[in-house]
Structure 1
Amino acid sequence: MRRHKSLHPLSHQHHNGLALCVLIERGLARDSSDANIQRLAAKCADRFDLELVNHFELEEQDLFSAILSELGPNAQVDALVAEHRRMEQQIAQLRVEPTIERLQAFGALLRAHIRSEENELFESVQDRLSDATMQRLGDTFEARAVRVCLEP
């Protein structure tokens, strides 16, 4: 199914998150030295601070709130918020003690999280939320979403 245009800014951020997962995987496959692990962990933390913090805020404050308000309790939303907290913890750990295992765990969780949002949550709610809500969300996301140009 096509993505509702109001969700495009979040989907663009998801694309960047998946690119970060690929960067982690390829970077570790190419070079598993301590120096490269440090570099990749720093890249994860930078991208987290630059875009994912904003992304989580938009979802939690706006999208998830709209879903709960208009459609009622949603176990998937609860699980996604818990994953946000786990990723925050993983980044905190990567900042102080980066390891291959932590990088891989962060990448795996980020990839699964994005796939869940894109393939399940967005598909489920984009036609169930009212047109007015989708328009309001789209305006909010357009105004507040951090947009980055990725570099390797």
Structure 2
Amino acid sequence: MEKKKPIKRHKALQPLSRQHHFGLLFSWKLRKGFSKNIEMERMQKYAKWFYEHEIKPHFKDEEKYLFPILEDDNELVERALKEHRRLKRLFNDTKNPEKSLNNLEEELDAHIRFEERILFNEIQKVATEAQLEKIEEIHNGIEKSPDYHDPFWE
């Protein structure tokens, strides 16, 4: 089996990629919660916390600073924006939490992999040094969110 080389990410994009790592961990934690039959309410509270502290600011930054680097009608950006809308709906759906959290776990994971493997590579190819410097400047002070108080996945 061919071993994939790690993606060489420009340092300006590394904070956003690090946030993607936390998103993948979020999906893993939900999977663990399901496998341990954790109460939906506990997992819902975690998803709500994660959305407020991680996802909302991350999506906002991508949409405001990163996506405009590509042309307006870029199909990769359109796909990312569509997925952002879908993920926001899943995070905010309280009618069927089990179904929403199951979908969220799968779709967030797939979305992050798409952005990391395809969209970010495209942005990195066409971004000017000035654009990358601006992104780096904005994300220099990103602080890690506090740890969540109920580690149900352990």
| TM-score over 0.5 for the pair | yes
Q: What is the aligned counterpart of 2:145 among 140, 143, 148?
A: 148
Q: What is the total number of aligned residue pairs between the two structures?
A: 143
Kindly state the Cα deviation for residue 148 of structure 1 after the two structures are TM-superposed: 2.0
CA RMSD of aligned residues (A): 1.6
State the distance in 1 between where 2:52 and 2:143 align: 11
Question: What is the CA–CA distance in structure 2 between the aligned matches of 1:13 and 1:54, rounded to whole Å?
Answer: 10
Q: 1:113 to 1:45 in 2, by over 3 A?
A: same
Paired residue secondary structure (2:13): helix
Structure 1 segments unaligned to the other structure (5+ residues):
none
**Alpha carbons of 1:146 and 1:74: their partners in 2 closer, same or farther (altered >3 Å)?**
farther
CA distance in 2, matches of 1:146, 1:112: 25
Identity of aligned residues (%): 28
- Which structure 2 residue ranges, 5 or more long, are not aligned? 1-6
Seen in structure 2, the aligned counterparts of structure 1 residues 149 and 2 have a Cα distance that, compared at 3 Å, is: farther
Q: Secondary structure at the match of 1:55?
A: helix
2:60 aligns to what? Answer: 57
The answer for the alignment partner of 1:127 in structure 2 is 125
The one-letter amino acid paired with 1:19 is L
In structure 2, what is the Cα distance between the partners aligned to 1:146 and 1:41?
24
CA distance in 1, matches of 2:88, 2:117: 23
Aligned amino acid, residue 46 of structure 2 = K
SS in 2 for 1:97: coil
Question: What TM-score do you get using the length of structure 2 for normalisation?
Answer: 0.85
Equivalence for 1:38: 41
Greater share of residues in helix: 1
Give the corresponding residue for 2:8. 2
State TM-score, norm by structure 1: 0.86
1:79 corresponds to 2:79: yes
Name the residue aligned to 1:88: 88
Report the counterpart of residue 21 of structure 1 in structure 2. 27
Matched residue, 1:12 = 18
> Partner amino acid for 1:10?
L
Partner of 1:116: 114
